[in-house]
Amino acid sequence: MHKTDRFLDRRESAKYLAEKGLKISAKTLTKFATVGGGPAYRKFLGKAYSTTGELDEWISERLGTTRRTTSDAVPAERE
């Protein structure tokens, strides 16, 4: 954790992400905590909190690469 990181609850996390132009609801963040795929979090007095650094890291992991055309899309891997 960096000195500038703050702890945000899910409502605040959703607002933080929206301020970065990435709209996601607190309910969706809660769902991700259940099914997986969401940002790292920890509990404090029964409430979930993520740091701003953890949210930024999650954005980096989930955000795709820059594309100029749809043909730039990477084909999905097949098993």
Residue 25 lies in a domain: yes
Domain count, the chain: 1
Question: 56: domain range?
Answer: 7-62
Residue 72 lies in a domain: no
Sign of CA dihedral 65, 60, 18, 43: positive
Half-sphere exposure of 71 (CA within 13 A, CB side): 0
Residue 2 lies in a domain: no
pTM metric for this prediction: 0.80
Query: How far is it, in rounded angstroms, from Cα 67 to Cα 77?
Result: 18
- Asked if residues 22 and 61 have their Cβ atoms less than 8 Å apart, the reply is no
Q: What is the pLDDT of residues 41-73, one digit of tens each?
A: 999 999 999 999 999 999 999 988 888 888 876
Residue 46 lies in a domain: yes
